[in-house]
Structure 1
Amino acid sequence: MIRRHLFAALLAALPLSFAARAAESPADAAARKALTELVPQAKVDAVEQAPLPGFRQVIVSGQMVYVSDDGKYLLQGSLYDTRSKRDLTAARLAVDTKRKVDAVPADKRIVFAPSGKPKYKVTVFTDIDCGYCRKLHSQVAEYNQRGIELDYLFFPRSGLNTPSFDKAVSVWCAKDRKGAFTAAKSGANPAPLKCDNPVAEQFTLGTQIGVNATPAVFAPDGTHIGGYLPPDEMLARLQSLAPPALAGN
């Protein structure tokens, strides 16, 4: 009995990825093996049956590839359902993105919200020094007037421990964080500050969901709706995806 309890405790302590891998089908394992042999440094987030018969779909750093069940063939690109006129690749990636972005708590975001309850909420990965990021933020009041809340996460394009990264840290550590953010977006250099901050983890999150340019704007359902979008265009894009009630999710 003691041994059985000990075994159960050890099993419960195993990493989720190990348990999931142990339960993989032969086709899942073949797809994973083929991909990691082709790209040894690849970090595989998920392997599952694809809508395309005879293939598995594999999510790698926010990207989707399709691998044949025998591991012999790999396809990269978007998979469309011609009958429903739906991008199945984008829809599946959005689910994964939403899960990861929703895990970022409110106290690790810089939020610019309308005075009333927002109709929509977007997550924006931003770089302090990015020109289109600055253009987007210069219109933040116009987005808010249209009922759109902007939740900012940092993505210094130059990488960790670079001048843009340091500016993001300084903004985060400022006493008036939103004021420092807006001033930096206007071209002012923030006073150098250090403190516990989420900049590195937000940069890592961005790379995990496929961010490779800024601004990167994500809808509440995880859909990447683009880079810079003028206020009316962003509103129209959000309206085309879902009703306003989605903003409460």
Structure 2
Amino acid sequence: MSRRLALLAAASVLWSPTLHAQPTGPDTQNLEQERAAAEQQLHQTFTNLKFEGFAPSPVVGPIYQANAGGRILYFAPKSGHLLFANVFDRNGVNLTALAQEEHARKGLAAIDPVKALAIGPIGAPTVIEFTDPDCPYCRALDRFWAAKAAEGKAVRRLIYFVSGIHPEAAAKAEHILCSPDPSAAFKAIYEGAEPKRLATCPVGKAKVAEDAELVKRIGVSGTPTVIVDGKILAGFQQAELQAFLDASAEAPPKTGP
């Protein structure tokens, strides 16, 4: 199956210019033959899907892949279309997700663990976490980690704040970083505390801005984003995190200095 066909099967068109009039005569017959052949190929390639209707797309010409802040987009310059889409191959592999993960993976070198807000015991399995104080799924993830810690499966979380999604996220992140006990302040905020006055300080403000630059450089576009063993997990993927904890528990203890 061609890349273009896979894209059109999964894409949604953001902007569509005026369509050209359909040709008539012999050209119409040729176009119908091409359409029928394409439809047949679609059904033969994706046998597990049921399609209702099949018609020419307004997208014309070659399609190019672009990256905008870590998000993969597709552009058809001939017809001027920008597509927000997930492209799948004939085996069901999400090629768009793979491209986004590869882009983020290249940015991992920019992460300096020393600059993270570290929560959790030293020596526990380590995860890197991009989080937002007002993100409900981030709060659910925090409850998950707390429950696992109660089971004796604590992790050490290297926290970086994403402050460009919710309007109060930056102020709450700065409050956490400026508090005498950042871990306790983090726990309180993520449990829903609403302090009457949020703490501020130059160091915390600078750290929030630094985290924002890191988020932009890596291309983190949603929260939570968790990195475990070099694998990037977008969203609260509980099954994946549980598998990581189980594997960590089964690993032999580290030796040496």
Residue 218 of structure 2 corresponds to residue 211 of structure 1 = no
User: What does residue 82 of structure 1 align with?
Assistant: 90
1:216 deviation in Å? 3.4
Change (3 A) 1:135 1:89: closer
User: What does residue 130 of structure 1 align with?
Assistant: 135
Aligned partner (choices 59, 66, 73) of residue 67 of structure 2: 59
1:220 deviation in Å? 4.4
- Structure 2 SS opposite 1:166: helix
Residue 115 of structure 2 corresponds to residue 108 of structure 1 = yes
1:65 and 1:74 in contact (8 A); partners too: yes
Tell me the amino acid that sits aligned with residue 151 of structure 1: L
Q: Which runs of 5+ in 2 are unaligned?
A: 1-14, 16-60, 252-257
How many correspondences in the alignment? 183
Change (3 A) 1:221 1:93: farther
Q: How far apart in 1 are the matches of 2:108 and 2:187?
A: 23
1:105 deviation in Å? 1.2
1:69 deviation in Å? 7.7
TM-score (norm 2): 0.55
Greater CA deviation, 90-99 or 72-81? 72-81
- Structure 2 SS opposite 1:81: coil
1:95 deviation in Å? 1.8
Aligned partner (choices 175, 189, 196) of residue 184 of structure 1: 189
1:94 and 1:221 in contact (8 A); partners too: no
Q: How far apart in 2 are the matches of 1:54 and 1:182?
A: 50
User: What does residue 161 of structure 2 align with?
Assistant: 154
Residue 241 of structure 2 corresponds to residue 234 of structure 1 = yes
1:95 and 1:222 in contact (8 A); partners too: no
Q: Which runs of 5+ in 1 are unaligned?
A: 1-37, 39-52, 245-249
TM-score (norm 1): 0.56
Q: How far apart in 2 are the matches of 1:109 and 1:149?
A: 11
Change (3 A) 1:104 1:72: same
User: What does residue 53 of structure 2 align with?
Assistant: none
User: What does residue 144 of structure 2 align with?
Assistant: 139
2:116 and 2:159 in contact (8 A); partners too: yes
- Structure 1 SS opposite 2:202: coil
Change (3 A) 1:210 1:158: closer
Q: How far apart in 2 are the matches of 1:222 and 1:206?
A: 16
Instruction: Look at both structures and tell me which one has the larger radius of gyration over its CA atoms.
Output: 2
1:68 and 1:74 in contact (8 A); partners too: yes
Aligned-pair identity in percent equals 24
Q: How far apart in 1 are the matches of 2:93 and 2:153?
A: 28
